[in-house]
Amino acid sequence: MTTRVPMVAGNWKLNHTLADAKQLVSTLAAEAPDRSQCEVVVAPPATALKTVVDTALGSAVAVAAQNVYHEKSGAFTGENSPALIRDVGCSHCIVGHSERRQLFSETDAAVHQKVVSLLEHQLIPIVCVGETLAQRDEGTTVSVVLGQTEAALKGLSDDQLADVVIAYEPVWAIGTGRTASPQDAQDVHAAIRGFLSKDFGASVAESTRILYGGSVKPNNAKELLAEPDIDGALVGGASLKSESFLPIVQAAF
């Protein structure tokens, strides 16, 4: 029987004004379960981070940045460092999302740098991994996903890994309405956990949370989250409204 506390994280991407963000988080803060049941995380755009942190203060809702640059400071126009997102009140940060990899040419090496830098600043990385439709059709899903996972976690200690969350998001299921079947998702999650066990030991593998992302909605969440190696969800579009996000949270525990 697993003791992993489920996590449901909402990635708002490039959505919500300050007013919208405040209204949504106010509702989530009032309805979120105790963190011992399920950890609820929201990732607003950078412009809304401070508003969301202030609105969520004292509640069970944690706040994540959607991206970070690994350097502590410097001449890096448009970027935010781990120190800055921690200073604004974030506790988590998404890294390696497929949109960052595909649209902004983010490499496995860059993802690794971000993971290390976040951990150095006591922030929890939510590390995204996943295959494209072409890779899935080629039968290389597991090798692609494990390659991304290995690159992101290279050289980390067991203590560092205790603060890492992995999110498996098949690229072909993000924002498309298509979702991996529960068994397909479970198979990849089990492969990731098997990799962790082989490279870092059974204890690390058993304690690491692995989320599923890719068109998670209220009508498919319960079935997906019932799988033994799926420890929660990284939710996109359905996280933009409380009436679609909260049922996913409820399905996780």
Q: Catalytic amino acids? A: 97, 169
Question: Using CB atoms within 10 A of its CB, is residue 108 exposed (0-12), middle (13-18) or buried (19+)?
Answer: middle
Contact 93, 123 (CB under 8 A): yes
Q: 240 - beta bridge partners?
A: none
Q: Find all residues with CB under 8 Å of 105, minimum gap 6, and list them.
A: none
d(CA 53, CA 51): 6
d(CA 198, CA 190): 12
